[in-house]
Chain A
């Protein structure tokens, strides 16, 4: 079984540029999560979807961040314009259960984003 697939694995871009991160969840999983991991703040939940509908985006840091899930097999996280403080590893995860943790979350290998 293919796990959660994220692309690109690495992204280096200049401040002010638009960045788009992509995720393909595990087929059949109803929930999709976007996380950000930094040394300072650890792993933070940015937004999650249930059946392609955004449910809670309270973790999205600013209006520069947006996420979409046009269908059950694809989601994007976009940063526009990007800033150096957005540099982090961004993870996508999918699950049969919601954010309360009653089902395991399956993580992709992340996108390491560097904004110069």
Chain B
């Protein structure tokens, strides 16, 4: 059963702009991860945020987690054409549950 779902399904922006995508989930979680998938490639892990954390940064990436709203956001600042990819959130309800991946957001960054 699907736990997390990304929004929007697709996003198109100009190079240099910021991109924000969201992940909403249905039940409480143990952790939440964001992955990127370039066309024809495997998923690449970006950031893991635990349920007791509110914000994490990695380079141009910023992830927030709001457990009261059961949602997370991924912000990519100063986007580049190379950021064009699909982005997935993955959640696990507890430390005993398997991670479930959402359907993803397709991001297009136009040069």
**Taking beta carbons and an 8 Å cutoff, which residues of A are in contact with B?**
4, 42-43, 45, 56, 91, 93, 99-102, 104-110
Q: Mark B56-99, 1 if CB is under 8 A from A, else 0.
A: 00000000000000000000000000000000101110111111
A101 and B99 within 8 A (CB): yes
| A1 CA to B92 CA, complexed, in Å | 28
Which residues of B lie under 8 Å from residue A45 when comparing CB positions? 98-99
Which residues of B lie under 8 Å from residue A4 when comparing CB positions? 42
**Taking beta carbons and an 8 Å cutoff, which residues of B are in contact with A?**
2, 30-31, 33, 40-45, 48, 88, 90-92, 94-99, 101-104
* CB-based closest 9 A-B pairs: A107-B42, A104-B45, A101-B99, A99-B98, A43-B101, A107-B43, A101-B92, A100-B92, A109-B42
B42 and A91 within 8 A (CB): yes
| A106 CA to B98 CA, complexed, in Å | 16
B42 and A100 within 8 A (CB): no
A101/B90 contact (C-beta < 8 A), A42-B102, A42-B103 known: yes
